[in-house]
Every structure is written in C-alpha cells, then in structure tokens.
Structure 1
Amino acid sequence: MKMYQIFIMSLLLMAVSCTLDKTDYESEINTAVPEHYEFKEATTVNKDGYTINIETLNGTFYQGYNEIRLKITDSQKNENINVADVTFLPIMTKADGSKTSCPYQYNLDYKPDGKYYSGYSVFTDKSNTAASWKIYLSFTVNNKIYTVNKDLTVNDQNNKNLNMSSFTGNDGEQYCIALISPQKPKVAENKLVAGIYKYNKPSVSTGTFPDPSQFSYSEVKGYTLQLDPRMPEPSMGNHSSPNNQDLKQGNDSLYHGVVNYTMTGNWTLNFILLNQNGKIIKGTKVSTDFTPGVPGAKSELFIDTLF
C-alpha cells in the first residue's frame, strides 16, 4: 500500500509540474521559435559584368545549417547566363590570423526549375570580434574562370530547434551534427532531419590560397545516430517519450528519424553516434530513472531544443 501511494504521488507531481511548465513555455513560443520558409537575397557580388546573388532563408546567414541558392546574371542585360563549375568556399579568420572552415558543399548543383545553383554551409561560429567569415566563389563562362570573394556576417541562431554541435569523436576525428528540420515542432511525432559531417585532415598544400583541399569536410556515410529525447527541467524528472526513431542516412545524404514531443517546453536530444561498424564515435546512454527536482542528466553528445 505504501509503495502504491508513493507511485500515485509521483504521477500527480509529474502531472501538475508538466501543466505548469507547459503554460510557461506557451507564452514563450511566439517569440522564441521563428520560422523562415522564404528565400531572400543575403548578399550580392559584382565581377567583370556579372552579378552573383546568394539567397538564404530570411536573407540571413545563421550559425548552423544554411541552404544556399546562388544566381549569376549578366549585369547589363539582367538575365541569367550559362555558367559552369560554380564553387562555394567559406573561410573563417580568427583573431590570431589562423584560418578554418566549416561543413559546406564546394561544387554547387544547378536546379533548372528555379534557375539557380544549390548548396549548403554549416557555419560553426557566428561573426564576432574574434571571428570573421568570407566566402570565396568561382565560376566559368566560355572557358574563362572568374573568382570573387565577399565578407559576410553570420548571425546567432535564435531557433534552438536548428542548433548544432561540434565535437571530437573517440576516433580522434572532428565531427559536426546540425539540425535541419523541423523548424517549429508540434506536440506529435515529428520527422527529424540532421546533417552529420567530418573534417578531412589536410595534407601539405600544393596550391595557392584559398586551397579547398585545406578546408575540406565530407558527409559521413552509413552512420547511425541513436536518439533519446528527454525533458531536463527539474520539474520534468528527465522523462522521455515513446515511438522515437534513430536517425539513418537517406538518399539525400542527410539523416532522418522521428522525435516524439509529448508537450511543449525544453527538450534535450541525447545522441549516441555509431559508425558503419556499430562502434561508438561519441555519446553515452542516459539513465531511465525518473528524477523530479533534479536537472536531468545528459548524454556525452546532445543538442538542446525548445518549442
């Protein structure tokens, strides 16, 4: 009887706490979770009679995953031109002068329906006094190669559902996981999409700056990202949810799974990253114990979200 009473009291505590926290987070949703589905001009570069327009969601470069759309037009005729071999290379310069990059697509793909070149960049840091970003572009017209560069500003990502994580794996390699979708989850089973990338350690450079071989990343192939979502707030007891699905790689090279958010609020996506052979690259299991009144334990590899 005593154990039954304790069990009932625990359920009541969880129900009351969840209701209170849900109300608190509902007042935050409208301002904390922006949604952007329209591509707008983020920056423009002019080169020898050609205009290069780069579009992103909301016309802004954000820390994290950015889909890139690039258009090249004849500046005088204001019409699209036939170009080839369009490349995109972002480079960050630190305060000490050292240079690094981030996961990106170097050779952009042409999309004939929209008449633009498509790619992505996962900016690992926002612009600040200690870090500045510049993009290096090239394209070919009538067998002539044009190169151009442009400073840009990378802004903080205010939508925590699009957060990212950079880390060193147990294999000594540098990895990055970037959330891509959903922008604004629902209290339901949500399709979860992420990109997973690895830094390619360069050999001695034989080219001139910017040599893309010195700033190379690749999409990891055939990995598994195990998922365990929890609500880490002390009043939530670090409880999880049913029907979640681990992330597997799709034909688009991105990783797809399902996260079941049973209520609004703070959630932690706890991960364990496994390579093709099932070896743990990063991450630890989280205890299933219900821990009301205590901040929830997190995996060694996690990303916080909020909706």
Structure 2
Amino acid sequence: MRKTLFFLTAACFAILSCTKEKTDYEAEIEVVVPTYDEFKEAANIHNGIYDISIEALNGTFYKGYNEIRLKITNSQTNEKTSASSVTFLPIRSDGEQQNTSCPHQYDLAYLTAENYFLGYVVFTNESSPNGRWEFYISFTIDNQTYTVKETINVQEQINKNLHMATFTGKDNEQYFIALVSPQRPKVGENELIAGIYKFNKPTNPPTGDFPDPSQFSYAQVSDYTLQLDPRMPEPSMGNHSSPNNKDLMQQNDGLYHGVVNYTMTGNWTLNFIMLNQNGKMIKGTEVSTDFTPGVEGVKSELHIDILF
C-alpha cells in the first residue's frame, strides 16, 4: 500500500511539474513581440552649424543588427547637406577603460535619391553602468572635415528572432552571426537573412588620435556558406526538424539568405555549420537525425535559439 501511495504521489508530482512547465512555455509564446518597419531618430548630434541625425528602426538601438540612416542638416538654412564622405565608428568602454568595438560599416554609403547615408552596426552588448557605447563620426563638407562624438543607449533585443552569436572559429578568428529577418516568422517557409562578420586583427600598433580605426576593423565575410538544420529541442518535440530548408548563401546586399521552414509555433533552434569560401568548416557540429522524445534535443556547437 505504501508503495502504491508513493507511486501515485510521484506520478502526481510529475504531472503537476509537466503542467507547470507547459503553462510557463505557453505563456512565453503568447507574449506579443512587436515588429518595426518605421525608421525614427535614435540620436541627434550638433556640431557648429550642422545637425547630424541618426535613424534606426523604432528610433532605438538594439543589441544585434541595426540598419542606420544618417542625415546632415544645415541648422541655419534647415536644408539637408550633402557631405563628400562620412565615417562611422562605435566604441564601447567598460569600467576598466578597455575599449572595444563591434561589426559596423565604417564608410557609410550615400544614397542620392533618399538623401541620406546608409550603414549598419551589430552591437554585441547592451548599454550598462559598466559598459558605455559612443559613436565617433567624421564628415567632410566643402573640403573641411568635422568630427563629433556622442554617447548612445543600446537596449536589450527581446525579439529572439533577431538574436546573434559570437564565437571563435577553428581558424582562430573571431566571428559574429546576427539574424536580420524575419522579425515575426510565420508557420511555413520563411526567408532567413543573417549577417556574418569577422574581426580584422590589427597588424600594427595604434597611431594618431584615439580612436585609430585600424584597431577596430570588421568585415562582412565573403562567399561563405551557413548550413542550416532547424530543430524543436523541447523534450516533447523529440528534436524534430522540417523539410525544404535552404542553406544561407551570400547575396548582392552582402547579407546571407536562406529558407527556414517552421512547421509550428514554439521553441526552435537554428543549428549551423559554417564553411569558408574553400568549403572548410569554421564552426559547427552535425546534429543527429534520431527522433528523441522525452529528451532535450542536442544542439550544434554553433546555434541560435529562437521563439515565435
């Protein structure tokens, strides 16, 4: 009788535990994650007669990938001003005055029709009392170069579909993968877009005034392949995958495009294997195709967890 009571008690505890986990999980996936498609001013800097406005989606800088649009206005005439060049360098200083940067486009591209400079920045950390982000910007107008510096705020990215990964490859280089799209996936096939970047190790000591751009240089990697294997790692899902996924390949915009097929909502893991332009594996491990119900799914050593 005691054994029977113990078994029933244990069974009830297990059922209640599973129910609680399921309830928490359902509450998590029911959280509405906003999507943003409007660029708003996220920072404004004044220098002499010029106002520099930097726009980002939702007027906010987030950890991960951020497209930025920079506009220069003559504050006396209130007219947009065309600079011959604009450089952009984000610097993070920690509590010990150690300076680092993150993937970014140093020379911004001018779009004539839109009348702004276009670039991107992939923030690797949120702003905090122990870590401050600053923009160092220079621009040239009528052969005169101006420099400005501004402290900005970087917020946590609560949308897991836009998370990122930082890692050291088998070639001992530092890499970054940042999800760009979709912000809100649908059940079915979705175009998956990501940026892949590498830190360019300095070959010489710093020179000139701080910051020396050569010490904080990053580049989009070219002609790599990001092999994709999406899985649902929840024990109840058995780490199952889905059909019709396509590996991510670089397109003309410099970003990597592929297809991910989400067969249902919930927790998914994007398992990756990254190959360089010569087909050599830089990072990642294969995931077994075995169906493993009741066990949390195995993940590649290179992965990003998402939720929708």
What TM-score, normalized by structure 2, do the two folds share? 0.90
Q: Which residue matches 1:213? A: 214
Which runs of structure 2 are paired with 1:254-269 in the superposition (5 Å)?
254-269=255-270
Deviation at 1:205, TM superposition (A): 1.7
Distance 1:274 1:83 in 2: 39
Q: Which residue matches 2:133? A: 133
Q: Which residue matches 1:56? A: 56
Q: Which residue matches 1:271? A: 272
Distance 1:21 1:306 in 2: 15
Which runs of structure 2 are paired with 1:1-307 in the superposition (5 Å)?
25=26, 28-29=28-29, 31-202=31-202, 203-307=204-308
Aligned to 1:68, what secondary structure does the other structure show?
Answer: strand
Q: CA 1:24–1:224 in structure 2 vs 1: closer, same or farther (change >3 Å)?
A: same
2:169 partner letter: G
* Partner deviation per Cα, 1:248-284 (whole Å, 9 max, x = no partner): 0111111010000000001000000001111110000
Distance 2:59 2:218 in 1: 25
Distance 1:192 1:253 in 2: 14
Q: CA 1:191–1:214 in structure 2 vs 1: closer, same or farther (change >3 Å)?
A: same
Distance 1:205 1:108 in 2: 23
1:284 partner letter: T
Unaligned runs of 5+ in 1: 1-16
* Partner deviation per Cα, 1:66-86 (whole Å, 9 max, x = no partner): 000010001121110121111
Distance 2:23 2:271 in 1: 21
Distance 1:156 1:23 in 2: 22
Distance 1:30 1:67 in 2: 28
Deviation at 1:295, TM superposition (A): 1.0
**RMSD of equivalent CA atoms:** 1.7
Deviation at 1:294, TM superposition (A): 1.2
1:108 partner letter: L
- RCO comparison, higher one (Cα < 8 Å, 6+): 1
Deviation at 1:30, TM superposition (A): 5.6
* Partner deviation per Cα, 1:29-88 (whole Å, 9 max, x = no partner): 563422010000101000011000000000000000000001000112111012111111
What TM-score, normalized by structure 1, do the two folds share? 0.91
Q: Is the 8 A contact 1:230 1:239 kept in 2?
A: yes
2:78 partner letter: N
* Partner deviation per Cα, 1:207-226 (whole Å, 9 max, x = no partner): 32111111000100110000
Q: CA 1:32–1:158 in structure 2 vs 1: closer, same or farther (change >3 Å)?
A: farther
2:136 partner letter: Y
Distance 1:246 1:64 in 2: 21
Distance 1:208 1:300 in 2: 40
Distance 2:30 2:113 in 1: 34
Unaligned runs of 5+ in 2: 1-17
**Segment drifting more, 104-113 vs 53-62:** 104-113
Q: CA 1:247–1:146 in structure 2 vs 1: closer, same or farther (change >3 Å)?
A: same
Q: Is the 8 A contact 1:161 1:179 kept in 2?
A: yes
Distance 2:196 2:259 in 1: 16
Q: CA 1:264–1:22 in structure 2 vs 1: closer, same or farther (change >3 Å)?
A: farther
Q: Is the 8 A contact 1:34 1:158 kept in 2?
A: no
Distance 1:38 1:113 in 2: 18
Aligned residues: 288
Aligned to 1:31, what secondary structure does the other structure show?
Answer: coil
